[in-house]
């Protein structure tokens, strides 16, 4: 700034001599207006390991960010958040921050699928839900194929008896990472925590034991 003032009225002549644009000389860099969006985009990618920029763009718009899909894609690429999937395993990385253990009933629920074959070799699935604190069996749904909408119906049915949990722990199955369950969690203020199959193995074993006990007592 002192250098600019020292030139005084000769500053325009200096511009012409060295071929410098006045707007370039007086330009002041602006702060990155996308910094908040970049930060939130990185947080969403850490929560939704298998979601691409299109579905992340949907979440950003839902949270109130006024942004189009082209801008989301550009920031997604600049932050090198492009999904890297190994074709053989197709397993997303686990979250870096583990959720705290539940401290009371109905604070955290866990869901998982079990499957088996009927006598005619037709496959069926059983969705089981338990309370992560008390390990109480809450409910189940059995069908030859269970979609994300059916998962939401089961949770809506359980709300009448147990209320709405704060957290639901699930794996990265297609029924759990879809828009149906994510939209329901957003409407009810429930946080979805995605865990690896190995990390969720103790819950799966408890679900199986609870399910077997329920069938024997039925």
> Do 59 and 151 have their domain in common?
no
At residue 99 the predicted structure's pLDDT band, cuts being 50, 70 and 90, is low
pLDDT at 103 over 60: yes
| Range 86-108 average pLDDT | 67
Whole-number percent of the chain with pLDDT over 90: 11
Q: Which two tokens stand for residue 77?
A: 């690429």
> Do 211 and 112 have their domain in common?
yes
> Do 114 and 205 have their domain in common?
yes
pLDDT at 27 over 60: yes
> Do 56 and 83 have their domain in common?
yes
> Do 87 and 150 have their domain in common?
no
For the chain, what is the domain count? 3
pLDDT in tens, 155-207: 999 988 888 999 999 888 888 888 888 889 989 999 888 876 544 455 555 55
Q: Which residues contact 92 (CB under 8 A, 6 or more apart)?
A: 49, 50, 85, 172, 194
Q: How many CA atoms, within 13 angstroms, populate the side-chain half-sphere of residue 217?
A: 7
Count of other CB atoms within 10 angstroms of residue 74: 12
> Do 112 and 211 have their domain in common?
yes
pLDDT at 91 over 60: no
Residue span of the structural domain in which 26 resides: 1-30
**What is the model's pLDDT at position 46?**
85
> Do 208 and 116 have their domain in common?
yes
- Is 78 within the bounds of a domain? yes
- Is 88 within the bounds of a domain? yes
- Is 99 within the bounds of a domain? no
- Is 162 within the bounds of a domain? yes
| Range 12-35 average pLDDT | 70
pTM: 0.57
- Is 100 within the bounds of a domain? no
**What is the model's pLDDT at position 108?**
92
Q: What is the DSSP string of 190-215?
A: PEEEE--TTTTHHHHHHHHHHHHHHH
pLDDT at 216 over 50: no
């Amino acid at each position: 700034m002192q250098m600019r003032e020292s030139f005084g009225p000769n500053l325009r002549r200096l511009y012409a001599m060295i071929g410098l644009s006045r707007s370039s000389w007086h330009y002041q860099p602006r702060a990155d207006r996308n910094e908040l969006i970049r930060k939130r985009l990185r947080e969403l990618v850490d929560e939704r390991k298998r979601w691409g920029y299109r579905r992340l763009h949907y979440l950003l718009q839902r949270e109130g960010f006024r942004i189009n899909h082209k801008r989301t894609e550009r920031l997604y690429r600049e932050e090198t958040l492009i999904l890297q999937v190994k074709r053989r395993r197709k397993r997303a990385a686990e979250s870096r921050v583990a959720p705290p253990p539940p401290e009371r009933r109905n604070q955290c629920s866990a869901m998982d699928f079990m499957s088996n074959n009927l006598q005619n070799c037709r496959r069926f699935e059983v969705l089981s839900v338990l309370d992560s604190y008390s390990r109480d069996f809450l409910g189940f749904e059995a069908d030859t194929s269970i979609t994300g909408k059916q998962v939401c119906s089961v949770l809506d049915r359980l709300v009448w008896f147990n209320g709405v949990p704060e957290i639901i722990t699930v794996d990265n199955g297609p029924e759990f990472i879809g828009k149906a369950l994510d939209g329901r969690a957003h409407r009810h203020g429930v946080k979805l925590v995605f865990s690896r199959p190995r990390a969720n193995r103790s819950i799966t074993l408890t679900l199986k034991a609870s399910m077997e006990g329920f069938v024997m007592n039925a």
